[in-house]
């Protein structure tokens, strides 16, 4: 498991395993956001299995499946609402952490400077520069 801290309260990861969840809970995360559609992964690590294991470990769990190349405003809104409603640290995962970084950055537009939303994920190799115009457009609408 490779957790990449984007901010103090929000981290991303490539696909996690069921056996990672107790360790994630011990690391003081309170919420897991699954940004991976079930069609991409085997059923044994699909939404239902991950939700059950997360809840057994004492973690809240939200599924917000993001399709690569087809991110929707519903995805962005759901991510932002989940983050805002979390009682503590949030870990979001997808195949690589990229989609989880994108929906985070878009959901935080207007709440943080665009340069920060681009730079923080970039520390971990996630290219948010291509999303700069969209972040700025969302920020100007808030």
Task: Give the model's pLDDT for residue 141.
Answer: 83
Place of tokens 């609408």: 141
Q: Which two tokens stand for residue 50?
A: 């991950």
CATH of the domain at 67: 3.90.190.10
Task: Give the model's pLDDT for residue 142.
Answer: 63
DSSP 77-133: HHHHHHHHH-SSEEEEE-SSSHHHHHHHHHHTBTTB-HHHHHHHHHTTT---GGGHH
Task: Give the model's pLDDT for residue 90.
Answer: 98
Task: Give the model's pLDDT for residue 61.
Answer: 98
How many structural domains is the chain composed of?
1
Low pLDDT (below 70) residues in the chain: 142
Task: Give the model's pLDDT for residue 1.
Answer: 77
Question: Domain limits at 58?
Answer: 4-141
């Amino acid at each position: 498991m490779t957790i990449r801290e984007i901010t103090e309260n929000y981290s991303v990861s490539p696909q996690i395993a069921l056996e990672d969840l107790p360790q994630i809970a011990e690391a003081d995360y309170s919420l897991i956001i699954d940004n991976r559609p079930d069609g991409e992964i085997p059923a044994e690590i699909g939404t239902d299995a991950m939700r059950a294991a997360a809840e057994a470990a004492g973690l809240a769990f939200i599924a917000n499946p993001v399709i690569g190349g087809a991110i929707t405003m519903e995805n962005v809104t759901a991510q932002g609402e989940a983050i805002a409603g979390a009682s503590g640290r949030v870990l979001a995962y997808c195949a690589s952490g990229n989609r989880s970084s994108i929906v985070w950055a878009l959901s935080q537009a207007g709440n943080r400077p665009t340069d920060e939303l681009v730079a923080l994920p970039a520390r971990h190799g996630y290219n948010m520069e291509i999303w700069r115009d969209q972040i700025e457009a969302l920020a100007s609408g808030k």
